[in-house]
Copies of this chain bind each other. A is one copy, B any other.
């Protein structure tokens, strides 16, 4: 089956009574190489025929595709939707790049397949939000000619990497959230997470422990590990939170101050606690991490640590769309606590 009824550079050339190269020249900003009159004729022909040069053919020739790959755990997770929005608008407005998006559901095979496909599609820049322990596949993508940026991971120390890394200061985010609880008088603290360890989770937990230790609470601070995420990946994280909230509600020895892995988890936690008859923040305080706009809508409003999503998205796009190797590691430290109503003093 032939390509659709699209006009080609030849059609334009014929219409303007010039050669294809002349058309190509005006297309590529070399209009000064010809008589103004010719240029105008060509431009008129382009307009008349509604000609848009095929990116396919351009790519085949130049090896460059104006496409950016974005790999997220799940598009149904509002957090990634938010990041995707920022990535897209920056990529589009500043660099004229379109977005080719994929969800991995945190599955290594899906992630690998995505990279294969990107390569085959001629996509040479990709941003990955991965939770895989290994980063070898990313390095190998770079070796195959890609520019890749990894979000929410640190560069492996001592191991020079061709992969760029952008991450919020997860340690500080965890610390800030925990310190806020401590400041309100909480002595029984827990960090609530899902099964499976990622680098960013580890950092948030380290921040949690650091704050607890600083308050002399090292002994009592604990980590609560929810169930694993099912095939659907990330939107179920709230379900896990809800189940844990329910479970905590039934436990008279439960912690009074909870730091959630992220806002979705926090929202789920609050729902579970409430269902279990426990009042937030009167009986239990909860703080989230992320900065989802949804946190402002919850009841009580969720106190959380806001991450500089837009800045990070822009940094990733710039690093990947610009020339030269991306910086191996950029840590965004502008994390700040947004107080709402989910934190109060613990019950006496």
Q: Show the binding face of A for B, using Cβ within 8 Å.
A: 1-6, 52-57, 59-60, 62-65, 67, 74-78, 80-82, 84-85, 88-89, 92, 98-103, 116-117, 119-122, 124, 143-146, 235, 238, 242, 267-268, 270-271, 274, 293-294, 296-301
Contacts and interface: CB of A to CB of B under 8 A. Distances in A.
A75 B64 contact: no
Contacts of A60: 54, 56-57, 60
Given A297-B242, A297-B271, A120 B54 contact: yes
Nearest to A65: B56
A125 to B, nearest CB: 11
B102 A55 contact: no
Given A84-B101, A92-B102, 14 more contacts: A1-B63, A1-B64, A4-B146, A54-B60, A54-B120, A60-B60, A75-B81, A75-B88, A89-B103, A99-B101, A235-B293, A268-B297, A298-B298, A299-B300
Contact of A63 (B3, B63, B89, B267): B3
Copies in the assembly, this chain: 2
B75 A85 contact: yes
A145 B101 contact: no
B102 A99 contact: yes
A75 B103 CA distance: 14
A88 B63 contact: no
Given A1-B64, A4-B144, A267-B297, A120 B81 contact: no
Nearest to A241: B297
A14 to B, nearest CB: 19
A299 B299 contact: yes
Contacts of A1: 62-64
A122 B5 CA distance: 11
A27 to B, nearest CB: 12
A60 B55 CA distance: 10
A59 B62 contact: no
A321 to B, nearest CB: 14
Contact of A121 (B56, B116, B145, B271): B56
